[in-house]
């Protein structure tokens, strides 16, 4: 109903993938699961006129910025998920709607 109404009224939707507030694993099994779930979410919503943006997560950099700056391993895992895997899946399954890695992303972990 939400998306139908947004389509009807011309409202635009910034669609987050379901990641927020914490850092996530970046092991192969977890990433495979994310790949499948993201592909399903994209297939479900990509046809919507209201869809203006896919966003990888909600404010993970702001909440976990100190850890991401301090720990290269955590940062590498974060980048693998939100800067490599999700944009790849969006490009593969949508190819039209832009992707943004995180709300408030400014291109740096600073």
- As annotated, the active-site residues are 59
The vertex-17 CA angle with 11 and 18, nearest 5°, equals: 115
**DSSP bridge partners of 20:** 58
State CA 4 to chain mean position distance: 22
Structure tokens at 19: 């990641």
**DSSP bridge partners of 53:** 14
CB 60 within 8 Å of CB 16 = no
Cα radius of gyration (the chain): 14
**DSSP bridge partners of 99:** 54
């Amino acid at each position: 109903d939400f998306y139908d109404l947004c389509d009807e009224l011309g409202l635009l939707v910034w669609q987050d993938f379901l990641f927020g507030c914490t850092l996530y694993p970046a092991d192969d099994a977890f990433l495979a699961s994310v790949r499948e779930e993201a592909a399903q979410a994209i297939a479900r919503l990509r046809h919507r006129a209201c869809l203006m943006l896919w966003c990888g997560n909600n404010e993970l950099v702001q909440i976990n910025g100190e850890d991401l700056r301090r720990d290269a391993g955590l940062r590498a895992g974060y980048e693998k998920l939100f800067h490599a895997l999700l944009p790849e899946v969006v490009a593969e399954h949508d190819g039209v709607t832009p992707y943004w890695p995180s709300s408030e992303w400014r291109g740096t972990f600073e």
